[in-house]
Structures are given as C-alpha cells and as structure tokens.
Structure 1
Amino acid sequence: MIYAGLDVGSRTIKLVIFDTVVKESLITETGANPLRRCREILAGRKLRRLVVTGYGRHLVASTQGGKVVSEIRAFAVGARYLLPDCQGVIDIGGQDCKVVRLSMEGDVLKFEMNDRCAAGTGKFLEVMAHTLEADIGAIGDLALTASRKITINSLCTVFAESEVVSLIGRGEETAAIALALHEAIATRVATMARRVGIKGKAVFAGGASLNRCLVRLLGEKLGIELTVPDSPQLVGALGAALLAKHEDGQ
C-alpha cells in the first residue's frame, strides 16, 4: 500500500511516497500556482492515503482529499524516524524558521515559529547573498574563509542590507561580511531554541541545513549535537507520509 506525504512550502513543494520504506521523493518549485503544481505531482498516482502539511496545506487538502497536519507535528514525526533518540528539531526554510522540543517518547513538548519576519530564514540569506553578489549555494563556504570577525547589528532584513552596503563601501572583506550575516541568523535561531529548551540531539532540517557555516555556528552556540539528514528538505513530507500510514492503522 502506498502512502504520500506532501509538504507545500512557500518556496518548494516536497513529496515523499512511503510503503515500508521511502519509495520515491521529489522537490520542486512552488511557483505562482501551488495547487496546480500539486495536481501535476499527484496525477496518475494510486495512493492509499495522503497527508498534507506546509503553509499551503489547507488549499491543497481541500481539493485533493488529503488530511491536514501541522508542520510542527510533521517535522517531529519525520525527525524521530530519521533519528529515533532526537529531542529537538530545527527547521530553517525559505520563509520561516521553527524549533521544536520533543520528549523522550517523541511527543511535542514546546515549539516556537517565526513566520512573520525574514530574519533567521533562508530569505534573509538569499537577499544578502544577492547584495554581496555571491551564490546562495556557496555563501556558507565563503563565510568559513573569513580572516576576521565583524558584527552585523540589525536582524531586520532591510536594515541589515543597509549595513552590508555600508560595509562594502568601506572595503570590508566579503567573506567577513558573509560570516557576520551567518552569525546574525545563528544568534536569532539559537535564541529561539533556548527559549524552547532544546537539549541533547537535534535534527537540523530545511534547505538552510545544507549550509556548513550555519550548521557549525548553531552547534557551537547551542552546545548540542546537530544531525543533518541526507535529504533535509524532505523531513516534513516524510513525517506527513508516516502519519498517512499511521492514520490507516499501519
């Protein structure tokens, strides 16, 4: 029997097809019409059950017949499947950031989510990479080459960008600016994680977890072991697929 988990994010849509193991997965751009994109993804598939999560979950589930689950629950379930003894999840996506503390049994104890401000999200880094004329996929490695540390004082994307422009105008090293931006993001997310009380092992999910500099800085600031899965962007969709199987009594 085939179960599907669909994570409809603001930037990308993720699909996981699950039976007794992951049978298939894909990541595609959300685009301007996420409903149409999801219909294309699901077309021709014979599914036993579908569970949808992500910011577009209600829109898609209402037309595709899937059950809706929160991102918090989906990420918690997906993370525990990948790392059974993890006690926390940190997800930095394109437009939001979430941190979740889990019990030893995998229940959600506390969580915090930032979806109203770009600070601490992939969007923040994307804007700054553009300002620095750096590739978003390589900006983390660039930051790790910095020869000295400087500070970005503002966490607001607009004001931080102004600071970056000023630093460029003063001839500051690009790598040092990149490192300062990563420090700003890591500080914001670490503050959220401390409020939630994440301790022990944690799964770092989302596209930003592919950034080696962010992984290092967050681990240092929190003093915990961060595990980045092989496909960190699929954690939410995986959790949704597992919940689909659970809903079917499997």
Structure 2
Amino acid sequence: MYYAGLDAGSTYLKAALIKDNEVIATGVENSGISNNENATNLINMLCEKARIKIDDLGCIMSTGYSRRSLDIAKDNVSEITAHAFGVQLTSPEGIKPGLIIDIGGQDSKVICLNNDGLVKNFVMNDKCAAGTGKFIEVIAQILDTTIDKVGPLSKESLSPCDINSTCVVFAQTEVISLIARKKKREDILAGMHQSMAKRIGKMGRKFEYDSDIVMTGGGAKNSGLVEAFEDELMTDVFVANHPQFNGAIGAAVYSRYMANKGL
C-alpha cells in the first residue's frame, strides 16, 4: 500500500510517496496562494512517477505551517511528530536517532526521542531567522555566493570569524563590518556556522539522550554546518536521507501508522 505526505511550509510545499519502508518519490513547489492546487498537482505528479492512481493511496497526511489548509489531505499531524516518524525511514542504516536537529527555512527545531522513537520533548526557534536556512541565505547573498557553495567554502577556513549577534539583522551588520575589515569569505562563513551550532547546540543540551544525533532540513545538506555541529557537540552528527523532505516523509509514515491502527 502507498502512502503520501505533504509538508506545507512557509516557503515551499513538499510531498513524499512511500511504500513499505522505501521512499518512492518526492516533489516540491513554491508555497503561495494556490497551495491547494499545488498540493493536488504534487500528489498527481508523485502518482505518475509511481505509475499508480490517487485511489491507490492508503492515505494522504499533511504537516507544516499550512497543514490544515490542504483539502486533499485526509488529516494532519504536527511538524514535531512528523519529523519523529520521518527519521524512522530516513536515518542512515544502523543509526538509532535520539536527537533530531532540524534546520528549516524559517525555523530550527531540536527534538528529543525516547527509546521507541516517539517524541519525548522538543524546543523550537521560530521567533528570529538567526539559526535558520534564511539566515544562511541572507549571509550568502551578502558574500556574493550561493547556498550550495557555502558549505565547501567554509571548510577552507583556517581562522573562523567570531559572529556573536543572535539577531539576523544585527548579524548582517556584523558580517558587513567583517567584510570592511577585509576578512576572508570562508572565515566569515565558518564563523556563521559556528555561531549557529553554538546557538542551536545550547538548545539540544537541555535534553538527555543515549543514542545518535540525526540532522534534517535543508540545512543538513550544508556540510560545513554539519561539521560545526559535530565540533560543538563533540560527537558524530548523521545526515538523514532526503533531509529536506523529512517532514513530508514523516507525514506519510504517520498516515501508515494511523491506518494500521484502524484510525
């Protein structure tokens, strides 16, 4: 049986199709005023990829910022729960997640899981763009580079800059000041990653866990940021498969879970 999940974020609408313990297909659209239409188009696209019909889906579940507005979904689930169920499928082989670090476009989350993989506790930063994908995007633009180059560039740094501002507006000013002082781009980027890792790592230290750390969200594709978290937390940080689709995958896994319970 196939199951589908939709993750309706503030910037992107993502979709995932699963069968058994395999991700069959994923898709993404920009969020907008036509989210319902975009959601239907995404589900149709996933079904075409799998060569099935919508009627073959066991359930469609939504999550994310606009999860309650998607008419095509049978039900919805919170982002926190969706991410917890998502890593059941996306964690690298042999990894048991005890802590999830999710770096999204507009917020960042740290989710602590119990031994059964269910949510034990969580903390979320959604009040300021600092520590999010948007923060990285803004700094990348100032430094005249692109998101995909930020990670590799930062790893060339030999002397990371200190970036102390916890507000993205003040951090921008701080970065402009560093440029004026002729600091190297790679050192500024490495300093940005260290600042994010310190800020979010502090959130994670609130929890007790005895298994692995798995990173999700678009930020997980930034190798420099992953390394900064490893240095800050002094342990390995594993990147989920399909990290930016973990929420949508989790919604699909949750829909299967609910269906198996007869709910």
Q: Identify the TM-score tier after normalising by the shorter chain.
A: over 0.9
Change (3 A) 1:81 1:23: closer
Matches within 5 A, 1:155-166: 155-166=166-177
* Match of residue 131 from structure 1: 142
Which of 54, 77, 89 matches 1:45?
A: 54
- Number of residue-to-residue matches in the alignment: 248
Unaligned runs of 5+ in 2: 45-52
* More divergent stretch after superposition (136-145 vs 41-50): 41-50
Structure 2 matches for 1:1-250, cutoff 5 A? 1-20=1-20, 21-43=22-44, 45-46=54-55, 47-60=57-70, 63-83=71-91, 85-249=96-260
Deviates more, 1:84-93 or 1:122-131: 84-93
Whichever residue aligns with residue 66 of structure 1, its letter is K
Measured after TM superposition, the shift of residue 96 of structure 1 is: 0.6
SS in 2 for 1:13: strand
Offset of 1:2 from its aligned partner?
A: 2.1
Q: TM-score, normalised by structure 2?
A: 0.88
1:35 is paired with a residue whose SS is helix
Aligned-partner Cα distance in 1 for 2:161–2:17: 45
Distance, in Å, in 1 between the alignment partners of 2:30 and 2:161 is 35
What amino acid is aligned across from residue 2 of structure 1 in structure 2?
Y
- Taking the aligned partners of 1:136 and 1:65, their CA distance within structure 2 comes to 32
If the length of structure 1 is used for normalisation, what is the TM-score? 0.93
Q: Percent identity?
A: 35
Report Cα offsets for 1:76-135 as digits up to 9, x if no partner.
Answer: 011123336211111101001011111111121110111121011000111111111111
Q: Which moved more, 1:169-178 or 1:203-212?
A: 169-178
Give the deviation of 1:65 after TM superposition.
Answer: 4.0
Superposed CA deviations along residues 151-183 of structure 1, whole A, max 9, x for unmatched, are 012121100100111111121111111111111
Q: Secondary structure at the match of 1:87?
A: strand
Supply the distance in 2 between the matched residues of 1:113 and 1:31 (Cα, whole angstroms): 24
**Cα contact 1:118–1:124 (8 A) shared by 2:** yes
| SS of aligned partner of 1:168 | helix
Unaligned runs of 5+ in 1: none
What root-mean-square deviation, in Å, do the aligned CA atoms of Structure 1 and Structure 2 show?
Answer: 1.7
